[in-house]
Amino acid sequence: MTKQKSKNISVFLAGCRDGIPIGFGYLAVSFSLGIAAKNAGLTALEGFFASLFCVASAGEYVGFTMIAASASFFETAIATLVTNARYLLMGCALSQKMSPTLPLYHRMGVGFGVTDEIFGISVSRSGELNPYYNYGAMATSIPPWAIGTLLGILAGNLLPESVVSAFSVALYGMFIAVIIPAAKKDKVIAGLIIASFALSFAASELPVVSSLSEGTRTIILTVLISSFAAIVFPKDFEVKEGENE
């Protein structure tokens, strides 16, 4: 066994170890996501592969919501693209930690598994990023994500409607847990969240806009609000000395 191969195995196992707690968290969250998939009419197998190939809670939820609303393929694609746009930035950040000689297939492999949590543990590693670390983290976190969605759909098919409705609320709780801490730290974000709720309600009631499909309204509001925030309240990301060493 060559020295490089032995190193790759060691790094892969380290990724597996760090991905285990992420996998447990994914299992719980994706169970609620499975309820949303069930409500959209997906089978357990369809939900499993949807989560296996699209590892994104917000992106999948938007996708399932668009399916439930009978949105077009174009509307669904644009909505999920906008929702998952942050992963483009995460991928760019990770690319700066990779060796310039790293083959394209490794870059694509790492890019496939970029999630908030995997990005967090990957970007915090010192030195150049070995793609086998990400592969290890993906190996122990992505399968539980897909299995949780499958179990959620199966549970949705077996449990009483009242219980299914309760689990559906749990998914909204997950998103509230994402926005509340950020809103508490930043008044601008808090204001934008409130404005998003108000504008979403207004768009569903206004004469002309309400005639648009739910998916189209979501796309328009997401682009307009995020663009407004980026222009009016730009963020100044300063890199502290020694932060990337």
> Which of 138, 168, 139, 140 has the alpha carbon at shortest distance from 152?
168
Q: What is the pLDDT of residue 237?
A: 45
Amino acid identity for residue 243 in this structure: E
Mean pLDDT in consecutive groups of 10 residues from the start of the chain, 245 residues? 85 94 87 86 94 88 88 86 81 88 94 88 86 95 94 83 63 64 83 89 87 74 82 64 40
Q: What is the pLDDT of residue 239?
A: 42
Q: What is the pLDDT of residue 44?
A: 94
Q: How far apart are CA 143 and CA 28, in angstroms?
A: 12
| % helix, strand, coil for the chain, step of 5 | 80, 0, 20
Q: What is the pLDDT of residue 245?
A: 38
